[in-house]
Each structure stands twice: as C-alpha cells, then as structure tokens.
C-alpha cells in the first residue's frame, strides 16, 4: 500500500484551519490530525512544518486544444495540465466545443480523445452548445449520463457560437429537466458587433479598440436578460467570467430572491485593469480577453462580490493564444484577434498574494473560491476541494515565507507572454500532490505522463 504522511503543516479548508498531519493511502486521504503517536508503516514522511497544506485547486474554466476564431489554443491537454499542476491546480473542467456540422455526442467524443492519455491531472468537461439543430436537446440525456452534467451557451459571437434567446431558453429548460446546469457567456453580441463595425469604419482597427467595443453595459444587459430567461425556463444558471459592478449587482439581486443564480469571476479581472489597453503598438493584444479588462471601480466591486458570497468561484479562463498568433490573424482588424490569454498556472499564487496577503480574503475564503466552491458547484465534492478523510489526496504545500517571480521565460504554459510579467509575489508553491502522487516540485512537473483521470460528475 502506497502511503504518504505530510507532517506538521497547517491544514486549511473552507470551513476552518488547524495544525495537523495528513495521511494519504492509495490516492485517498485516510486520516487528518495529530498522527505523531501512531505507528505508520511504510509511509513516505514529508516535513511540512511552517507550510500551508491546501486542497488542490479546482479550475472550472479552461480551453485546452480548443478551436476558436480561426486557430487553436496553444496549450493541449499535456502542456496545459502540466502548467496547472505546477501552479497548484489538480482538477480542471474544460469546455468541449461543439464541432461545426457535428452532433453534441460526437463532438464530446472528439474532445475526450484530445485528453485521454495526455492530461496529467484529473479533469471533466462542460458541453458547449453552439448549434441547436433538430434533435440536439434529445442528446442532452446521453451527455449527462456520460458524466458531463453541465452545458455552456454564448450570448455573443453571432454566426459562430451565439444562440438566440429562444434557443437559449430551450437549452435551459431541457438541461434543468434533466438535473443539469448551464453556464452562460453573457454579453450583448449584436450591440458589440455594431460598435466594433463603427470603430473599424472610423479607422480604429488596433487591438485597443477591443475594449471600446465591449463597454460594461453590454455585459450588464446580457446578465439581466439571461436571469429573466432562466426564470422563464425555471432553470438554474451559472455566469462565467463576470467583470462588471453591474453584473455583480444583478446576481446579488437574483440571489436575494433565492433564485438559483451563481457566478464566477477570473483572476485577471481581480488583478489587472484597462490601462493595459493604452500600451503602444500591438501590445494591447495580449489582453484582448472577453470580456475585456475594466476600470478599477469594477475590480473593487468584484472583490466585494467575492467576500459577500455573490460570486462564488474564481477561475482562470485559460484560453491561450500566443502574441504572434494574435498578430498573424488580427494585426489589421481587432475583430480578428483571438480572444483569450493564459492563466491556469498562476491562478492560485496570484489569488493567494493579491487576496490573502493583501487582506482582501481569509485563507479559508481563498480555499473556498479556488477549490471547495467550484468542486461543490460542479458535482465533484466531497472527492475534490477539501483535505478531509475520504477525499482524494490532492494537496498543495505552500510556503508563506517563499517568493514567486512570474515570467514568460520560466512558465510552463505554452505561451510567449504572461500579463503578469515580472510580478514578484509573496508565497511559493513548494509541492503539489495529485491523488497522493508528487506531480510538481518548485514549479517543475515531476509526475508520470498521462496520469489524469476523467471525472464523471453527477447532476444536482
């Protein structure tokens, strides 16, 4: 029996923290507490005195090996999950894109093929619905029975990803009837397209125009509309990557009425702002993200929303496109710049530094937002998201006295830049365990290849 004893660390869960030892056997946690007096045979003992023992991160918003906007994201399931592991994330939920002209079931099978034998951490999928062809909702039951209990729809990108309101209503209604949940990208795509066309007609074709074409009101209107449609469908709803104060307020109002509305924000919206769009030349393309970065007052509203429980999850929205690829496709027209950037590797340490160490979050709230809550929201608890007996041995050893310097030259993400270039942060991730196996040490992947397992998720 393979045994691992993490000795003398400070165990942090969303519900509390304490000094404790953690014993892992055959991939699962079998004991948490003062184990020094016990005779534990054949265990590898790791001294964790002075270190924080955190549940492995759960990132429920990534795009690996994903076709988008005329190209494919630069990280596949091997490089992307290795980067995740080095950054303290041991579970992710990726978006399985519906292939144009293909059924949902066949598109899901194709995404499975991309991950099987390549992912090094445990993973699951959301099923993206971009074409509600005749009979599409009849496949929802098969998708859910296969362990994929969530869907995603888009309110932007007409002609490629966007569903109209009627189709959105139908997806919500059918998913809810089966016990699933729907994630929504909430932006008013039609208004954005008109604003973008006006900018191009005026000769404002550079990447900084991306932000101007997507003002905060285009998100807020879509959030409010989606909530109303979800109520018509009697369906729960989960908002991805919220970025505005108005969206936080709309979700808070819905939740005050005990409606089943939940939402996430992302690391970059909490830590970066729209001043990056003022960089010279093509540099703003690095942060051509959707939605775009906002002004500081929106950022502060997001932090308040996290503390109040209005927003329950912090994800990375890791959607990596190298700068040179963005330039190749969109140098002449910002509308063609692939929307997205890197983030899965640095989500945990940035949130620890900017949240906990700056006094915005308690350690327990940090753990909840990055591990426990996403695991609960998407049917992976209690196996994931906590350091408790019976949970998987997914554990991050974080040194609060260490330092992390972020650089494109040293990151594991398959990217030629990071928006956090040169950031020096308090804290360092010393070691990461996935199901009791050491998979990352001091920022280097040391685990076995292709060891990740697909997680079948139950319905609510």
Q: What is d(CA 228, CA 218) in angstroms, rounded to the nearest whole number? A: 16
DSSP 318: B
Question: Cα-Cα-Cα-Cα dihedral of 348, 353, 357, 361, to 10°?
Answer: -50
**Quick one: which of 154, 152, 160 has its CA closest to 100?**
160
- At 36 the pLDDT is 84
Helices (H), 88-139: 104-115
Q: What is d(CA 2, CA 42) in angstroms, rounded to the nearest whole number? A: 8
Cβ-contact 306, 267 below 8 angstroms:
no
Q: What is the pTM of this model?
A: 0.97
Longest dimension (CA), the chain: 75
* Comma-separated ranges of CATH 2.30.40.10 domains in the chain: 3-54+383-445
Name the pairing type of β-strands 16-25 and 28-33. Answer: antiparallel
Give φ, ψ of 93 to 5 degrees. -120, 115
- At 160 the pLDDT is 95
- At 38 the pLDDT is 83
**3.20.20.140, 1.10.600.10, 3.30.1330.10, 2.40.160.60: which CATH number matches 56-377?**
3.20.20.140
Cβ-contact 442, 31 below 8 angstroms:
no
Give φ, ψ of 346 to 5 degrees. -110, 5
Question: Strand, coil or helix: what is 348?
Answer: helix
- At 37 the pLDDT is 81
Cβ-contact 419, 276 below 8 angstroms:
yes
Superfamily of domain 3-54+383-445 in the CATH hierarchy: Urease, subunit C, domain 1 (2.30.40.10)
Cβ-contact 381, 375 below 8 angstroms:
yes
Taking only Cα atoms into account, the Rg of the chain, rounded to an integer number of angstroms, comes to: 21
Cβ-contact 165, 197 below 8 angstroms:
no
Q: C-alpha distances in angstroms, 21 versus 312, 367, 393?
A: 29, 18, 13
* Comma-separated ranges of CATH 3.20.20.140 domains in the chain: 56-377
Cβ-contact 369, 58 below 8 angstroms:
no
pLDDT averages per 10-residue partition of the chain, 460 residues: 90 98 97 89 94 98 95 98 98 96 96 98 98 96 98 97 98 98 98 98 98 98 98 98 98 98 98 97 97 98 98 98 97 98 98 98 98 98 98 98 98 98 98 98 98 92
């Amino acid at each position: 029996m393979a045994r691992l004893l993490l000795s003398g660390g400070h165990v942090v869960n969303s519900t509390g923290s304490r000094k404790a030892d953690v014993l892992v056997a055959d991939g699962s946690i079998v004991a948490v507490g003062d184990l020094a007096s016990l005779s534990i045979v054949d265990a590898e003992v790791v001294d964790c005195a002075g270190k924080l023992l955190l549940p492995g991160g759960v990132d429920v918003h990534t795009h690996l090996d994903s076709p988008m906007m005329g190209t494919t994201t630069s990280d596949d399931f091997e490089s992307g999950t290795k980067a995740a592991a080095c950054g303290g994330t041991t579970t992710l939920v990726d978006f399985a894109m519906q292939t144009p002209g293909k059924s949902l079931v066949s598109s899901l099978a194709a995404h499975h093929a991309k991950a099987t034998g390549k992912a090094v951490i445990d993973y699951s999928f959301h099923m993206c619905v971009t074409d509600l062809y005749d009979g599409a909702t009849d496949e929802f039951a098969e998708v859910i029975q296969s362990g994929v209990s969530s869907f995603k729809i888009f309110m932007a990108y007409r002609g490629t990803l966007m569903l109209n309101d009627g189709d959105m209503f139908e997806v919500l209604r059918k998913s809810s009837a089966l016990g699933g949940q729907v994630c929504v990208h909430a932006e008013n795509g039609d208004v954005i397209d008109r604003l973008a066309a006006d900018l191009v007609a005026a000769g404002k074709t550079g990447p900084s125009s991306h932000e101007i074409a997507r003002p905060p009101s285009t998100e807020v209107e879509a959030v409010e509309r989606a909530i109303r449609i979800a109520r018509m469908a009697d369906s729960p709803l989960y908002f991805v990557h919220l970025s505005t104060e108005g969206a936080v307020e709309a979700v808070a109002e819905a939740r005050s009425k005990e409606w089943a509305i939940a939402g996430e924000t992302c690391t970059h919206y909490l830590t970066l702002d729209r001043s990056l769009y003022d960089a010279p030349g093509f540099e703003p393309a690095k942060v051509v993200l959707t939605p775009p970065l906002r002004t500081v007052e929106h950022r502060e509203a997001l932090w308040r929303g996290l503390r109040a429980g209005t927003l329950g999850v912090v994800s990375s929205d890791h959607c990596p496109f190298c700068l040179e690829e963005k330039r190749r496709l969109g140098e002449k027209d910002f509308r063609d710049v692939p929307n997205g950037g890197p983030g899965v590797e640095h989500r945990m340490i940035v949130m620890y530094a900017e949240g906990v160490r700056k006094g915005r979050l308690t350690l327990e709230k940090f753990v909840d937002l990055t591990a426990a809550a996403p695991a609960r929201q998407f049917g992976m608890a209690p196996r994931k998201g906590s350091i408790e007996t019976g949970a998987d041995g997914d554990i991050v050893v974080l040194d609060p006295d260490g330092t992390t310097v972020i650089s494109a030259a040293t990151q594991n993400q398959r990217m030629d830049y990071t928006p956090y270039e040169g950031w020096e942060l308090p804290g360092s991730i010393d070691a990461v365990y996935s199901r009791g196996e050491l998979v990352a040490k001091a920022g280097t992947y040391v685990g076995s290849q292709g060891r990740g397992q697909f997680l079948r998720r139950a319905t609510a």
